[in-house]
A = this chain, B = another copy of it.
Amino acid sequence: MTTDGQARRGRLRLAHGEIDTPAFMPVGTRAAIKGLTHDQVVTLGAEIILGNTYHLHLRPGDDLIGRLGGLHAFMGWERPILTDSGGYQVFSLSGQRTISEEGAAFRSHIDGAAHLLTPESVVDIQARLGSDVAMIFDECAPWPADRLVVESAMERTLRWARRGRDRFLTVQAAAAPEVFRATPGQMQFGIVQGGTHLDLRDRSVAGTLAIGFEGYAIGGLSVGEPADLMYDVVDHTAGQLPLDRPRYLMGTGMPDDLVECVARGIDMFDCVLPTRNARNGQLLTRHGLISIKNARYADDLRPPDPECECPTCRRHSRAYLRHLYMVGEMTAATLNTVHNVHFYLDTMRAIRKAIEFGTFDHFRQEFHRTFSRRQVPK
């Protein structure tokens, strides 16, 4: 591993291959990156993708996926996969959820069927899915929330982490023969909670480290809090995590968030932003954001980003992309997604190179100079 300040450049060996870090994981919620084929995802250079346990548990079901050999075999994807625990979706998607010490009872957002996820069942589900990295079941407090609510969720996450780790070790030791393990060598990451309260983060880090995991995630951020506050929490929290274990910031974020959090020691990211915003017609470029539906692009023959080497920018104009978006062609979503995912993965490549060369701080300044959150037409 090479470092440059707090930024870390490493390689993480997973069951289905190595990944270069810092890494961005495109989100393949239901066993597909929305709008893309696997061939496109591979061509864009993604070394690892994320799958959502909540969605896959509901459809097509982890029993079926396990019976077919696990998620890799099922979806025909040979590279590493990280699966979340489903906790976040239980809170954000499902109706009539009831959190108890046992776990989260909820009704499916699809058909209203009753389900129960527990720290143990989430381990079993992810064993059947056979992801390379499984996440523990956590309770993510909303923002803003009373300190007592955040503290309670953090404490419960610690108790659930203990139970989840125990179950994971049992399953991995093949001591739970009723649970099919699609991927021997699966890793499990703990999740640090505590909202924006630094002392709660401290207690969560200490408790999570005491249990011990192959890697550590920072959860409960990117849920609405200001970016500067998020950066402070990441800075404070990442600094307490072991140097020799991967650090994953869950659900973040905008490209400048990635740069800032790499600067604070984060190794792994995921976010639906590049794919979701693509489908909504927003293109992210090194010069800022382009809302492709804007009438000013109707006769603009320039590519979204003239310097970008993605397949979309090499072949297509803003005028064409705007037309496809305005008439509702699904190819619009695909071409926009290709560009946005390329931009994220290319930014990560540039970050890794800058850390290797010891020029990350220069890269960081240049990135902020050209990219901003505001829409900047050229």
Contact = CB atoms under 8 A, between A and B. Distances in A.
A324 B331 CA distance: 17
| Secondary structure call for the A interface | helix
A250 interface: no
A330 B59 contact: no
A327 B55 CA distance: 10
A172 B221 CA distance: 64
Contacts of A38: 315
A301 B74 CA distance: 8
A33 interface: yes
A39 B298 contact: no
Contacts of A334: 35, 37, 330, 334
Contacts of A34: 329-331
Interface string A310-352: 0100011101100110110111111100100000000000000
A76 interface: yes
A308 interface: no
Contact of A37 (B32, B299, B335): B335
A299 to B, nearest CB: 6
A296 interface: no
Contacts of A76: 315-317, 320
A71 B64 CA distance: 47
A324 B37 CA distance: 11
A272 to B, nearest CB: 14
A311 to B, nearest CB: 6
A322 B114 CA distance: 24
Contacts of A209: none
Contact of A311 (B39, B67, B316): B39
6 contacts: A34-B329, A34-B330, A60-B326, A75-B316, A76-B320, A330-B333
